[in-house]
Structure 1
Amino acid sequence: MKKIRLGLFGAEDSIEIMESVVSRYAEFSYISISYWRDEEIVEKLTKQTNDVDMWLFSGQIPYGFAKKWAGITQPMFYVPSSGSSLYKTLLHITYNQKIPFDQLSFDTFHPTELERVFQESEIAPKPLYLKHYEEEIHTDEVVNYHHELWITGKTLAAVTCLKNAQHELNKLGVPAFRVLPTQAAIVSTLALILQTHETMHFKDTQIAVQMIEFDTFSSLTKENFSTDEIYKIEIKMTEKLLEYTKKISGSLKSAGPGRFAIFTTHGILREMTKEFTVVPDFAILQLAGHDAVTCGIGIGQTVYEAEINAGTALLHAKEFHKGSSMVVLDDKTIVGPLGQPEQITYGYAPEHLQSLSEQTSLSIATLSKLESILRKIGKIEINAHDLAQHMSIMPRSARRILTELESKGLAQVVGEENPHPRGRPRKIYQIKL
């Protein structure tokens, strides 16, 4: 059985604990990457992105930075801070340091989790000082939180899950105690990883249909325009497509003039497109012209569902521009255009946008794309020029979308920018979907 290549990422002491657990599993091989400063996280991950199947992070901070970076396409997991390790740390503080629990500051833990530990331990005061965060946070912010409480006399010590935070706090004179990941928490996370891998294997065997529309006339000139030449091109195209189909272990059938459908599996196309981020390898087709092939990929539980999704994907690809490639997954999520820097992922018919679509002249798909773009750029302000680039539409079309939202109270102008001194100022809209 092929082993799952697991990337272990975290502080050096956490890595050692994770290695001691993972090494007991025959299902895994692993590589270990340790870091010290937040600034190293993305740089170190970049070097190993193609060497692992899944990632296991020692905690929320490296996991949060990796998620925000969005350069990792493999599934990611982190070891949660568990009760048993915290119990051990609190026991040490009680018996060796004699510090009251209401004079401790904490980070990372969820408030309900920390309160539960206090209740189960029959500790009377509730935890007063907690720096809880979701996803990424800079270590400096955590250090400043604990330090400020300490220098103002509100606390006598800090309890942290971060090795570098403990180090910096100790340098500042703050007594800091580290909560390390426990073996039990790692075992629990590894069980989730194995379950996810099994689910992914099932998804890899799903049916995938790649629907290709070829512009026969793109290879013709006025001098060679004839039905015989068109027929020759179609024969050549079919031969090349058969080569490509063989490469992806698929089956080819004609779907009308200039249109073909290739049946294969989800896993093969996912690998071929590098997790649906690049255009399928049409170099083997040896076609002239970048816009010669428009492609829709559909994934489904059945052949019928996959073929319907492929047709939908092809229509969305043609909406963007000729020569695009789009994907419709089995949950109706749409991904694309593949190979473009402005690639977005959006829902085909999200229910929460239906009422907004009814209020405006904009389709649900347009609103869903806009929502996905805002999520991708991480803010709710955008101008028409940037929106046009992300949606692969003309700037005037983007302006129409924004002014329509503004007229219905779903957007407002919050400023202007002028990237070119002699150019027309660009209005910045704040979107309120």
Structure 2
Amino acid sequence: MVTVGVVGPRDLVTSTRKVVGSMPGVTTVALPYRTETQTVEVVRGAPGEVDAWLFTGVVPYEVASGAGLLDRPASFVNYTGAPLLTAMIHLLKEGHDPSSFSIDILDVGQVDETLKEAGIATSGAHVLPYRRGLTAADIVEFHQERAAEGVGVAITCLRSAYDVLRTETTAIRLAPSIHSVRYAMQQLLVAFGEARSDDAQVAVGLCEVDAAAEGDLRREASGLGGTVVAQRDGRFFIFTTRGPLEVATSGFTELPLVAKLGAAHGTIRVGFGVGGSAAEAAALARRALGRAGRLGKEAAVVSMRNDIDLTLSGTSLRSLRRPSLSLLSERAGLSKATLVRLQEMLAAQDDATVTTRTVAAALSVQQRTARRVLNRLERAGAAQSTGRQGLGGSGRPLVTYHLYL
């Protein structure tokens, strides 16, 4: 079952959910706003069970993307094709010239193609394509200027612009068609499936390190979601899947256990292979280990299909005074907005010790969601369990964590 958060104006969220809700294996969460400027607030406040985002238009999608909040598969409903043709039919019914209008958000090529397919002249279409940073005020001004030039109809994709324009001129607000919603959902489900498929790929590691390091290796490999198996030749296999490995290595860029075990035990070389089967992954791991052997005494390489070899740094995020939020966001699977709020929480405290309760309060979420956040940060190397905090009465003690933010 996939839980989709539908983001947009309330009326479009309602109509979009009706279409999406009829699709098997999909549930929806309504995330409406009054104006597109509230997109960031709405997405930040979405419940943790949302697996993917569906935006009712490109504007809220771009707002959320610009704020770094698209930490899950996301798509938006396109208004070309059927929605635009519906607007043309409405103009004809109302006695307006369908070849003379101003329209926003859509690309010129999209508008021209739709009009040509319908046999409508394109010379009278005045288009304001979307660009990042475009505001409702910009859109209203564009339509007002065209109206002053004699263009009699304004077609807008933005609810806030429509509310202004309809009091001044003939205005039509484009709305998603059933077909456009279904198409957007198909794209979203494909992206969601690809993400899950990538996460499920097999990852096999082959490690050369002193036998005395086995205990430390097992402990560090738990952060990769991995299982360590000793081999007769003195090497060690590490079995995991792509998802946990990609998170723990910050998008295949670093492997801190190399520096840790190297400092304690000397030479360590690790080769990871990522493939569709254990056999393929193991073969790639051997290739990766061979390449790591040519890099020095402390080295790690990830090998994938198509001759892709990625060298991993041994630097730990914890060694950085102020980690890159973009890097940590990818590594932990959390939005940069969430990490910023945690940084703000720490700035207001005397130390970096937190619990699920304090994190839940800072993020305005339930404690079970806060626990998932802390678990992700711990796996990413940005949090460490430090003990337990008694409640002074009944109830389970709270686990305390130190955050490295």
Shorter chain as denominator, the TM-score bin is 0.5 to 0.7
- Find out whether 1:177 has 2:175 as its counterpart: no
1:107 shift after superposition: 1.3
Instruction: Tell me, in whole angstroms, the C-alpha distance in 2 between the residues paired with 1:9 and 1:72.
Output: 12
1:48 shift after superposition: 2.6
Between the two structures, name the one with larger relative contact order (CA 8 Å, sep ≥ 6).
Answer: 2
- Find out whether 1:101 has 2:98 as its counterpart: yes
SS of structure 1 residue aligned to 2:166? helix
SS of structure 2 residue aligned to 1:44? helix
**Compared CA separation, residues 199 and 236, structure 1 to 2 (3 A):** closer
CA RMSD of aligned residues (A): 4.3
Q: Is the 8 A contact 1:299 1:305 kept in 2?
A: no
Instruction: Tell me, in whole angstroms, the C-alpha distance in 2 between the residues paired with 1:36 and 1:281.
Output: 45
Instruction: Tell me, in whole angstroms, the C-alpha distance in 2 between the residues paired with 1:325 and 1:136.
Output: 42
Partner of residue 250 from structure 1, selected from 227, 232, 247: 227
- Find out whether 1:53 has 2:36 as its counterpart: no
1:265 aligns to what?
A: 241
1:341 aligns to what?
A: 324
1:277 shift after superposition: 9.3
SS of structure 2 residue aligned to 1:101? coil
1:154 aligns to what?
A: 150
Instruction: Tell me, in whole angstroms, the C-alpha distance in 1 between the residues paired with 2:186 and 2:68.
Output: 24
Correspondences of 1:2-41 after superposition (within 5 Å): 3-41=1-39
1:130 shift after superposition: 0.3
1:105 shift after superposition: 0.2
SS of structure 1 residue aligned to 2:22? coil
SS of structure 1 residue aligned to 2:17? helix
Instruction: Tell me, in whole angstroms, the C-alpha distance in 2 between the residues paired with 1:100 and 1:124.
Output: 10
Cα deviation digits, residues 267-316 of structure 1 (max 9, x gap): 3435x54984998898xx99999xx9998765334214642686599799
Cα deviation digits, residues 43-64 of structure 1 (max 9, x gap): 2212337432211111111111
Instruction: Tell me, in whole angstroms, the C-alpha distance in 2 between the residues paired with 1:68 and 1:335.
Output: 30
Instruction: Tell me, in whole angstroms, the C-alpha distance in 2 between the residues paired with 1:130 and 1:78.
Output: 20
- Find out whether 1:133 has 2:126 as its counterpart: no
**Compared CA separation, residues 325 and 100, structure 1 to 2 (3 A):** farther
Partner of residue 69 from structure 1, selected from 47, 67, 70: 67
Instruction: Tell me, in whole angstroms, the C-alpha distance in 1 between the residues paired with 2:24 and 2:71.
Output: 24
Correspondences of 1:300-339 after superposition (within 5 Å): 300-301=275-276, 302-304=280-282, 306-307=284-285, 332=308, 339=317
**Compared CA separation, residues 99 and 330, structure 1 to 2 (3 A):** same
**Compared CA separation, residues 85 and 111, structure 1 to 2 (3 A):** same
1:31 shift after superposition: 1.0
- Find out whether 1:196 has 2:191 as its counterpart: yes
1:21 shift after superposition: 0.8
Partner of residue 216 from structure 2, selected from 237, 241, 252: 237
Instruction: Tell me, in whole angstroms, the C-alpha distance in 2 between the residues paired with 1:333 and 1:174.
Output: 60
Q: Is the 8 A contact 1:298 1:311 kept in 2?
A: no
**Compared CA separation, residues 182 and 328, structure 1 to 2 (3 A):** farther
Cα deviation digits, residues 248-283 of structure 1 (max 9, x gap): 2534347999x855221113435x54984998898x
Instruction: Tell me, in whole angstroms, the C-alpha distance in 2 between the residues paired with 1:333 and 1:344.
Output: 20
Alignment: residue pair count: 313
**What TM-score results when the alignment is normalised by the length of structure 1?**
0.59
Instruction: Tell me, in whole angstroms, the C-alpha distance in 1 between the residues paired with 2:240 and 2:132.
Output: 37
Instruction: Tell me, in whole angstroms, the C-alpha distance in 2 between the residues paired with 1:82 and 1:304.
Output: 47
Cα deviation digits, residues 380-432 of structure 1 (max 9, x gap): xxxxxxxxxxxxxxxxxxxxxxxxxxxxxxxxxxxxxxxxxxxxxxxxxxxxx
1:80 shift after superposition: 1.0
Unaligned runs of 5+ in 2: 318-322, 329-405
Unaligned runs of 5+ in 1: 217-230, 346-433
Identity %: 19
Q: Is the 8 A contact 1:255 1:261 kept in 2?
A: no
Instruction: Tell me, in whole angstroms, the C-alpha distance in 2 between the residues paired with 1:40 and 1:184.
Output: 27
1:125 shift after superposition: 4.8
Instruction: Tell me, in whole angstroms, the C-alpha distance in 1 between the residues paired with 2:35 and 2:127.
Output: 22
Q: Is the 8 A contact 1:209 1:310 kept in 2?
A: no
